């Protein structure tokens, strides 16, 4: 199934002020005061602007930071990592590949057993699609992520 993911001015105009600040101005939402930091439902997270698939709940973990945190993207080609020196230190910013939305940052202090990365994302940049709604929402091909026998995603 082929999808065209892109930044659309009409979609940008429908963003909430917080979603706009985060995705378009690289702001950071408050920790622990966002909808997905403690979401434990199975599903995938897509870019709020383009809908491109970014992360899956099977790769989500509680990092204690107050933001939704993942060990890896569901589609590596849908995320772009760039150097960010805005705070006077070098961090790695994560943006969506097709909509160029600011998503958050990736750090190298994640769980070693899953590759050591911590993708710390802003809920305001994401839309959550429950596993049971994947087909209805046009993301049926991602059911495979939840069908591995031991519950772990194939890497």
Write the DSSP assignment of 72-124 as a string of letters.
S-SSGGGEEEEEE-TTSS-EEEEEETTT--EEEEEES-S-GGGTS-EEEE-GG
Count other C-beta atoms under 10 Å from residue 28's C-beta.
15
Has 120 been annotated as catalytic? yes
Of 121, 128, 130, 126, give the one whose Cα is nearest residue 69: 121
Among residues 58, 97, 120, 121, which one is catalytic?
Answer: 120
Tokens representing 99 are 């909509």
Q: Are 106 and 81 in contact (CB under 8 A)?
A: yes
CA atoms of 38 and 55, how far apart (whole Å): 15
Instruction: Point out the residues that are catalytic.
Output: 120
């Amino acid at each position: 199934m082929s999808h065209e993911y892109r930044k659309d001015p009409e979609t940008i105009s429908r963003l909430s002020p917080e979603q706009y600040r985060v995705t378009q101005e690289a702001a950071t939402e408050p920790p622990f005061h966002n909808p997905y930091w403690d979401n434990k439902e199975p599903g995938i997270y897509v870019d709020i602007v383009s809908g491109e698939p970014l992360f899956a709940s099977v790769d989500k973990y509680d990092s204690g930071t107050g933001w939704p945190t993942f060990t890896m993207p569901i589609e590596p080609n849908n995320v772009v990592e760039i150097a960010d020196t805005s705070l006077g230190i070098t961090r790695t910013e994560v943006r969506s590949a097709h909509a160029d939305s600011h998503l958050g940052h990736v750090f190298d202090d994640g769980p070693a057993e899953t590759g050591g990365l911590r993708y710390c994302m802003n809920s305001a940049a994401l839309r959550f699609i429950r596993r049971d709604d994947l087909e209805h929402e046009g993301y049926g091909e991602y059911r495979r992520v939840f069908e591995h026998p031991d519950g772990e995603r194939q890497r």
